[in-house]
Amino acid sequence: MQIEFTGRQTDVPPGLRATAEKKLKKLSRTLRGITHAHVILTADKHRQIAEVTVQCRRFALSAQKESTNLLASLGAVMDRLQRQAQRRAAKRRLRKRESVRAAPSGREA
């Protein structure tokens, strides 16, 4: 997985970089096949915005959160992405189960 960091009106501190990498590694356990992740950290006057986009083979997930602390914003964004990944995995599992249940059993009356 390739991780790209962008800091707008701020530089990305090593602590935030390490936290983001750790949380993305945790996300990759839920969501297999992550190819690219882009973390954008923006610092305005009293707004600290974190935006993360994760590219997979067939789809992309993204989330954005604003707060007064960059670390809190980053944590909230990663939680949102984790929920999106879990929802996507659950839909996929349900679709597979339904296709197996709807398939003919091979016996005809």
> What CATH number is associated with residue 39?
3.30.160.100
Overall domain count for the chain: 1
User: 63: left (phi > 0), else alpha (psi -120 to 50), else beta?
Assistant: beta
Q: Which domain holds residue 59?
A: 2-102
pTM over 0.75: yes
Give a yes or no: residue 33 inside a domain: yes
Residue ranges in the chain assigned as alpha helix (H): 14-30, 70-102
Give a yes or no: residue 109 inside a domain: no
Render pLDDT for 5-61 as a digit per residue (tens, 0 to 9).
Answer: 999 998 899 999 999 999 999 998 888 888 999 999 999 989 999 999 999 888 899
CB 27 within 8 A of CB 50: no
What is the structure's pLDDT at 73?
A: 94
Give a yes or no: residue 27 inside a domain: yes
> Could you say which DSSP state residue 52 is in?
E
Give a yes or no: residue 65 inside a domain: yes
Give a yes or no: residue 72 inside a domain: yes
